[in-house]
A and B are shown apart, each in its own frame.
Chain A
Amino acid sequence: MNAYLAVAAVLFVCGVMCMATKRNGIGVLMGVELVLNGANINFVAFSKYGLLGLDGQIFSLFVIVLAAAEAAVALAIALNFYNNHLTIDVDQASELKN
């Protein structure tokens, strides 16, 4: 089980690093996907080798669907942002300030 958890942890850290360092909006969303999949691996590993049972598998199935839904909305918003600002750089999203 530890090997699976290690892979999941590596995915999680990669995802968080990606979210923190990428300046491209799509890149940040890719980081989010990595984090979600890291959590999925955790769930499936705990389900197979731990005490979580079927709950873990169901959890990861739901997360796969939700990740797709969330990505669809996020990409639509990113596209809308591009239409209005002609860039997808999150640092350019700084017009709303005090």
Chain B
Amino acid sequence: MSVNEIIEHALKGEILPRSVQIFGPEIALCLTILALLFVRMFEIHRRLPTNLVALLGALIAFLGVFSQFMYVKGGSEIPAMMALFQAWGLTPEGVGEVGPYFTGLLVHDQFSVFFRLGLCLFLVLMIALTVLSGIPDSEDGQDFYTLLIGSSVGMMLACGANHLLTLFLAVEMMSVPSYAMVAFQKGRRQASEAALKYVIYGAGAAGVMLYGLSLVAGVLGTASMPELAAQVSTAFAGGSFVLTNPVAVTLALGILMVLAGLAFKLSLVPFHFWCPDAFEGAAAEVGGFLSVASKAGAFALLVRFCIALTGNPDPSLAGLNLSLGIGLGVAAAVTATFGNLAAYSQKNMKRLLAYSTIAHAGYMLMAVSALVIIRGANPSGVPGLTSAGLDAEARRCLEALLYYLAVYLFMNLGAFAIVALIRNQIFSEEIEDYRGLAGEAPVLCVCMLICLFSLVGLPPLGGFWAKLEIFASLFQAGRVHWFMWVVLGIAAVNTVFSLFYYMRVLKSMFLTERPVGARSALVPFRSAPGLYVVMVSVPVLLLGVLAGPLSQTANNVARILLR
């Protein structure tokens, strides 16, 4: 197709209106960025604070994605949502129809809407947190929010990536602004060091990933992700996936390089070096953003990439699926163990949370590896499981990942928010200085308790069900390949490990006396920060008590994605 034909086709056909309709929330965020820059340019920011502009834009985008979510979930006949549907101009041909848009570069389905909803919600909560904690100040506000929103748009692109080009663009769009955000406190030596490490590792990983993408796209002759699986079969033409075949070697190398790039974003061992340093050097708010939103975006990409590669019924390529799944499983087990062991000796709270982030990336990766193993299984080779049973198990793996990410959003944001709010009071992030805080700021400490217990996975909090679902899917995957049972064992031991270092923080907060002369941290319940942390922690409790609706939704999302 020539360029003219493509333009004709896009403008005159039904592609453009549908695409713009689905892309509406992202466009709203882009307009917010423009508005932020204009506010500064015309010196209105003294009367109209930039953080309110950013918050408003994020809220509008959130409403947009929320209406899409309800439309996709419940159809156009929800009376309470009619006004919102009309305001965003949602139609059955547009948002109502699952499928690719923007000429196949992006895809619209329940999976992408679910992730975009989570990301927009997180963006709103994040901006609200920065309003409360006062980082950035009013002079730097528009720069910071431009970077924050720009990075979020990149993550939202990542959720719908349907083409290797969008995959790479999304990775770059979410990481380049986050490098600058880590360096945001320009005068601090630590921040500049953290940013330098992050940018150098990040740029290197992106380069390697791009080279891998060029190999995958070149060997398979297509860059469109839905076609990858079929092309894998064609490229091997009946031959099996063994490493004496040069095509197989090139493809395996390419896939390995792409996974290395994604592993960097997920801070998996051995690509985790940047994570503790970047989190310690950056402000706690930025740390929270990196640890939740960029992980969610990268997991969306990883799931899409793995599903694109393994959606292949050809039994001769079972070797590819199996080695991919086991490779991910090994990486997950090593990452979770390393993160938990390294978190033991930490004295700085942000560094501890960084290692905890690494460990949680490991747990979530276990769900992906179980998914790959189950998807690659040959139904006749697994006793007691039919083809339909395998599909149901694959759905449960994805459901576990989505549930975990949803709970993780609240519990990790809560932990980082409390670190930021305590820092504003006592100007310290050392666990040492948290001694006896429970007497002065009970609401912060109780919410910290909820978030940390949920991170461990104690019932009846949300983190418990999330971990349980992942363990259940690992158990089922173990029936396909015994190695998943090993991973399950490692995960269970890790959960017990992790209890101790989280408990150390809580012990310092609740069971020791506040030292004489320490700065006081008076955060009453009836104050904006107090209400904020309660607002973030309550969903962690709720998701523990009422796990049904979310897991039902997640299962539905998985069903459509794996169809």
Q: Closest residue of chain B to A44, judged by CB?
A: B214
Q: Closest residue of chain B to A28, judged by CB?
A: B200
Complex CA–CA separation, A93 to B182 (angstroms) = 15
B296 on interface, CB distance cutoff 8 Å:
no
A76 on interface, CB distance cutoff 8 Å:
yes
B507 on interface, CB distance cutoff 8 Å:
no
- Contact (Cβ within 8 A) A84 B211: no
B195 on interface, CB distance cutoff 8 Å:
yes
Complex CA–CA separation, A98 to B344 (angstroms) = 11
Per-residue CB contact flags for chain A residues 3-30 toward chain B (1 = under 8 Å, else 0) read 0000010001001100100000100110
Q: For B180, give its contact among A36, A77, A83, A85 (CB under 8 Å).
A: A77
Most chain B CB neighbours (cut-off 10 Å) among A58, A59, A85:
A59
- Contact (Cβ within 8 A) B169 A62: yes
Interface of B is mostly: helix
Q: Closest residue of chain A to B346, judged by CB?
A: A98
A8 to B: closest C-beta gap in Å: 8
Complex CA–CA separation, A52 to B227 (angstroms) = 12
- Contact (Cβ within 8 A) B211 A35: yes
Complex CA–CA separation, A7 to B281 (angstroms) = 39
Q: For A77, give its contact among B199, B207, B347 (CB under 8 Å).
A: B199
- Contact (Cβ within 8 A) B195 A50: no
Q: Closest residue of chain A to B178, judged by CB?
A: A73
- Contact (Cβ within 8 A) A96 B200: no
Instruction: Collect the chain B residues with CB atoms within 8 Å of residue A12's CB.
Output: 211
A40 to B: closest C-beta gap in Å: 8
Instruction: Collect the chain B residues with CB atoms within 8 Å of residue A76's CB.
Output: 180, 183
Which A37-62 residues have C-beta < 8 A from chain B? 38-40, 42-43, 45-46, 50-52, 55-56, 58-59, 62
A63 to B: closest C-beta gap in Å: 6
Q: Closest residue of chain A to B215, judged by CB?
A: A42
Instruction: Collect the chain A residues with CB atoms within 8 Å of residue B211's CB.
Output: 12, 35, 38-39, 42
Instruction: Collect the chain A residues with CB atoms within 8 Å of residue B345's CB.
Output: 98
Complex CA–CA separation, A98 to B187 (angstroms) = 22
B563 on interface, CB distance cutoff 8 Å:
no
Contact flag A70-B192 (CB < 8 Å), given A50-B218, A96-B277 = no
- Contact (Cβ within 8 A) B192 A83: yes
Interface of A is mostly: helix
Per-residue CB contact flags for chain A residues 78-94 toward chain B (1 = under 8 Å, else 0) read 10110111000010010
B172 on interface, CB distance cutoff 8 Å:
yes
Complex CA–CA separation, A95 to B351 (angstroms) = 14
Q: Closest residue of chain B to A90, judged by CB?
A: B200
- Contact (Cβ within 8 A) B186 A46: no
Contact flag A77-B214 (CB < 8 Å), given A19-B204, A98-B346 = no
Instruction: Collect the chain B residues with CB atoms within 8 Å of residue A90's CB.
Output: 196-197, 200
Q: For B187, give its contact among A40, A51, A52, A84 (CB under 8 Å).
A: A84
Q: Closest residue of chain B to A12, judged by CB?
A: B211
- Contact (Cβ within 8 A) A50 B221: yes
Complex CA–CA separation, A19 to B34 (angstroms) = 36
Q: Closest residue of chain B to A94, judged by CB?
A: B193
Instruction: Collect the chain A residues with CB atoms within 8 Å of residue B180's CB.
Output: 73, 76-77
A72 to B: closest C-beta gap in Å: 9
Which B197-226 residues have C-beta < 8 A from chain A? 197, 199-200, 203-204, 206-208, 210-211, 213-215, 217-218, 221-224
Instruction: Collect the chain A residues with CB atoms within 8 Å of residue B276's CB.
Output: 96
Instruction: Collect the chain A residues with CB atoms within 8 Å of residue B214's CB.
Output: 8, 39-40, 42-43, 46, 59
Q: Closest residue of chain A to B172, judged by CB?
A: A66
Complex CA–CA separation, A59 to B105 (angstroms) = 12
Complex CA–CA separation, A56 to B221 (angstroms) = 10
Instruction: Collect the chain A residues with CB atoms within 8 Å of residue B346's CB.
Output: 98
- Contact (Cβ within 8 A) B218 A96: no
Complex CA–CA separation, A85 to B276 (angstroms) = 20
B223 to A: closest C-beta gap in Å: 5
Task: List, sorted by A's number, 10 A–B pairs whose CB atoms are closer than 8 Å.
Answer: A8-B214, A36-B210, A51-B222, A55-B222, A63-B168, A66-B168, A74-B199, A76-B183, A77-B192, A95-B193
4 A-B pairs besides A32-B207, A77-B179, A77-B183 with CB distance below 8 A are A35-B211, A39-B211, A59-B213, A84-B192
Show the binding face of B for A, using Cβ within 8 Å.
164-165, 168-169, 172, 176, 179-180, 183, 186-190, 192-197, 199-200, 203-204, 206-208, 210-211, 213-215, 217-218, 221-224, 276-277, 280-281, 345-347, 351
Q: Which 10 A-B pairs have the closest CB atoms?
A: A51-B221, A35-B207, A46-B218, A42-B214, A39-B210, A39-B211, A32-B203, A96-B277, A81-B196, A81-B192
